[in-house]
Amino acid sequence: MSVQEVGRPRRRKEDARLLTGRTRWTDNLTRPGLLHVMFLRSPMAHAAISRVDVSGARGLPGVVAAFSGQDFAAEQGSLPCAWPRAADTVIPEHPPMAVSGVRYVGEAVACVVATDRYRAADALEAIEIDYEPLPAVLDMERALAGDSPKVHETGNRAFDFTSTHGDVEAAFRDAPVVIDRTYVQQRLIPNAMEPRSVLCDTDGETYTMWSATQIPHILKVMLAMVTGVPEHTLRVIAPDVGGGFGSKLQVTPEEVLCLLLARKLGRPVKWTESRSEGNLTVHHGRDQIQRIRLAADADGRVRGLQVRLLADMGAYLALLTPAVPLLGAQMFNAIYKMDAYEFACTGVFTTKMPTDAYRGAGRPEATFGIERIMDELAAELRMDPLEVRRRNWIRQEEFPYTTISGLTYDSGNYEAATDRATALFGYDKLRAEQADRRDKGDPVQLGIGVSTYTEMCGLAPSRWFGSNNAGAGGWEHGSVRVLPTGKVEVITGSTPHGQGHVTAWSQIAADALGVPFEDVSVLYGDTAIAPKGLDTYGSRSLTIGGIAVLKACEKVRDKARRLAAHLLECSPDDIEFEAGAFRVRGTESQKTLQELALAAFTGHDLPEGVEARLDSDATFDPENFSFPHGTHLCAVEVDTETGMVRIRSYVAVDDVGKVVNPLIVDGQIHGGIAQGVAQALFEEAVYDADGNLLTTTMADYLLPSAADLPDFTLDRTESPATSNPLGVKGVGEAGTIASTPAVVNAIVDALRPYGVNDVRMPCTPERVWRALGAEGVRR
């Protein structure tokens, strides 16, 4: 009997190769005759283009070509927006290269193709462009005023979306407690470790594109739709991809233009961004103003919730821009029961880089809003923040539970996660220390932050996508081939970029087929090798793609069973499967998977209806999302003399259902928490009054490193998902979703005796110091 692989803390198969540099990043790839592309980018936030002259670049040494947007006007199409969820969504023309005007600093306005990047960079300086400046539109509230300059002729409103559940007016009428707050979700810049890079080659008839993308399959379809290049002549490969966090879930101007350049020039071209170029032009994340009102009874029971969002779209609607804030529509109510809930969101155009999916996409914003205001409710009622939550959350015995916003949470146990977290955290002891420091007037105050989050992930139900106006569905594909020697190849449509699919899929296949973990390889990321797929985002890989692989394995097993029955001359019902062998029940007579694979390969003696080769494929499309949840507790020390915040301890107890690989799950939680802490304390994309991005380098856009983070104490509870046969839930975004409000709640908790009830993110030392009063606190 082999050991069960699912649940084992297997070290990742990927890592030896990645850590020793045997990698295939797009920028490391080359092709014979490769040319290098560089883009000239708009220095203006908003301007009409009156003249572009690339002739100065054309004559320079090494320069093969130089183009303006006008040169692509007839063929470049408009970049896609695949999910205009609100019915009235305005989708403006979005040319990959600006033709008549620019709407954000960084928009591509011309390009140079040269024999090396140095010459291309020099030649960019020889291009002349005349701009007629137009007013920048930067502030969402002002953008919606009637007299605001317009980003697009249609105005600055991209959409209005409202959903109402229950009688909101009744919930607020005569409510003993109404809390009214406005929170700002600052703009963030995703920083994948690997910058974006695209290489496109052609043989004159077909095109192969390598791209640092999360979505080779979607990209292929979209490239065909945008440019008219026939889909069957396109092949997209995502080789090793070094992280994305949503930023590579995009159909980028550069990808489209590299395809068009390869077609124009008949030669391979490559573009790789610099880090500062990336800060300007990788789609940004978050950027919302959240007005939240909550009505409650005097005992803390929530009656109703009203959410009004302004969501900054930036200058255009990119692939999922308008859908991202709306992923919060069903999430602000979170784990709480209430009588009424209203969600309204207005998408606003500004002259900034478009926003789009960034780790959590819509759910971190919602979780922040509700978890912050639940703390405010607790403060208002002088209750413990955990107690307020307990009085409102869905109790374990109430699952499955259909929430006020209409989602059905299949499983969960908020009590168990919270009990475990408070025990690990030493909640009561820290509260006592906090009281003591308050009494003593200690210049270093202690704050305790709570976040009892849930989220909807495993972005699938195609049916749900369809009824919410998405351009695609959410199924995933997997296939399995048992090779003639008994080794196994798994092909997945879910394209990893750091998650560890190879390891987890190997564990699943090893169990399902009774083969050693080492005997499984996993192929992915090439539309010619893994032709079907919908790629990786929204914590969907395991819950959808992993299950597709499991289903394909089960089909292979059925086929093997029929073949075994035929060769062993019995009925398939008499065959039992154990440890990779198919045995006639109650006898010694058996065929191993390897023997059957060889038999299926030779095809010498196959039963009726069984085709050669032991392989199969499957798609999976679940009925429901998965709903991971958990309780995160954060203790911070706030130096009231300087405003400096130090995280002293952090406990996360997450419930992600069944766990396939605990090491991978812990890694996802670690990285997730770090990214959420970064939003709370460090990161912010800042534009100046003219619309110039000020945070173009890492000296200005601060990313934390391990030295800035505490040790995380992790644990889990396990409430298996009922929407898939492994009982697994997504984990890729949970840490990010949970941690931001935990940290900010802790800071506000520390400062509450000073009359503070909010600090804007990122909670920089200066902001904390100012929140304490202009002079701060001096002893």
Instruction: Tell me the CA distances in angstroms from 416 to 375, 521, 654, 721, one per residue in order.
Output: 20, 38, 10, 16
Pick from 725, 574, 732, 765: which is nearest to 214 by CA? 732
* Coil vs helix vs strand at 17: helix
Judged by beta carbon, residue 336 or residue 769, the one nearer other proteins is: 769
Phi, psi at 523, each rounded to 5°: -110, 145
- State the CB neighbour count (10 A cutoff) for residue 779: 7
- In whole angstroms, the minimum distance from the beta carbon of 706 to other proteins comes to 9
Quote the distance between the C-alpha of residue 241 and its chain's center. Answer: 15
Judged by beta carbon, residue 198 or residue 678, the one nearer other proteins is: 678
Measured between alpha carbons, how far apart are the two ends of the chain, in Å? 69
Instruction: Tell me the CA distances in angstroms from 399 to 242, 270, 411, 722, one per residue in order.
Output: 38, 52, 6, 11
Instruction: Tell me the CA distances in angstroms from 139 to 109, 149, 290, 344, one per residue in order.
Output: 25, 11, 14, 19
- In whole angstroms, the minimum distance from the beta carbon of 752 to other proteins comes to 22
Judged by beta carbon, residue 188 or residue 556, the one nearer other proteins is: 188
Judged by beta carbon, residue 543 or residue 696, the one nearer other proteins is: 696
- In whole angstroms, the minimum distance from the beta carbon of 769 to other proteins comes to 6
- In whole angstroms, the minimum distance from the beta carbon of 129 to other proteins comes to 17
What lies within 8 Å, CB to CB, of 714 at 6+ separation is 651, 652, 653, 654, 666, 669, 670
| Beta carbons of 253 and 96 less than 8 angstroms apart | yes
Judged by beta carbon, residue 119 or residue 420, the one nearer other proteins is: 119
- In whole angstroms, the minimum distance from the beta carbon of 641 to other proteins comes to 5
> Which amino acid is residue 516, in one-letter code?
P
- In whole angstroms, the minimum distance from the beta carbon of 677 to other proteins comes to 11
CA distance 477 to 491: 8
Judged by beta carbon, residue 121 or residue 379, the one nearer other proteins is: 121
> Dihedral of CA 94/98/102/108: which sign?
positive
Judged by beta carbon, residue 109 or residue 522, the one nearer other proteins is: 109
- In whole angstroms, the minimum distance from the beta carbon of 258 to other proteins comes to 18
DSSP label of 660: S
- In whole angstroms, the minimum distance from the beta carbon of 199 to other proteins comes to 18
What does the binding site for other proteins look like in residue numbers (CB under 8 A)? 117-118, 121-122, 125, 274-277, 641-642, 644, 682, 686, 694-695, 699-700, 702-705, 707-708, 764-766, 769-770, 775-776, 779
- In whole angstroms, the minimum distance from the beta carbon of 702 to other proteins comes to 5
Judged by beta carbon, residue 415 or residue 708, the one nearer other proteins is: 708
Judged by beta carbon, residue 75 or residue 442, the one nearer other proteins is: 442
Pick from 189, 113, 134: which is nearest to 675 by CA? 189
Q: What is the dihedral of CA 249, 251, 253, 257, to 10 degrees?
A: 130
